[in-house]
Amino acid sequence: MAVVTQAVTKGIAANVLLRASCVPWVNRIPAHWDSGNIRRFAAMKTGHTPSRAEPEYWEGCDIPWFTLADVWQIRDESITYLGDTKEKISGLGLANSAAELLPAGTVVLSRTASVGYSGVMPVAMATSQDFWNWVPGERLVSEYLLLQFRAMRQEFERLTMGSLIKPYTRVMQQV
């Protein structure tokens, strides 16, 4: 994790000119980096679960739907891109719910029972409400955002200490 933190907060060039960071747990960052609230660089979306009472939302489906049942894929942080999902939803389920089809490159960040785990969508997918989904703008690379979230792992754990289901609102206020 120290290598990831080093790469995320200082870059890969050893002799780069640094400046102070406004983030408490990051002392200095490369002077040429643009910094600011994540919402300047990515759009935040939440997931949703289509109604289980409507079988046509869940039968013969082809839209990957990432849920806590799939979070095992990203728990050890050894993969970058999400794999196949346990469940899929239909276009009808998507159209009749608050779920969204998010573009490939979206970075998922778990926010409920498995707080702080992250990965990148390799294809368009939807997620359950257990995730904050970050759609990077043109100035942010998905894989960089993923490394940033992974470097923040200890901070996420610190902010959620003591909760049974760790409230992610406090964490997101800090990002």
CATH number of the domain to which 58 belongs:
3.90.220.20
Q: Which residues, including other chains, have CB under 8 Å from residue 139's CB and lie 6 or more apart?
A: 34, 41
* Position with higher pLDDT, 115 vs 90: 90
CA distance 51 to 97: 8
Instruction: Name residue 30's beta-bridge partners.
Output: 18
CB atoms within 10 A of CB 89: 23
pLDDT over 50 (residue 59): yes
Number of domains composing the chain? 2
CA of 172: how far to CAs of 4, 77, 101, 110, 113, in Å? 21, 20, 22, 11, 15
pLDDT over 70 (residue 106): yes
Quote the domain boundaries for residue 25. 1-35
Please tell me the total number of residues recorded for the chain in this structure: 175
The mean per-residue pLDDT over the stretch 145-156 comes to: 86
Q: Give the least confident one: 17-31, 64-78, 156-170.
A: 156-170
Q: pTM for the whole thing?
A: 0.78
Q: Are residues 2 and 52 in the same domain?
A: no
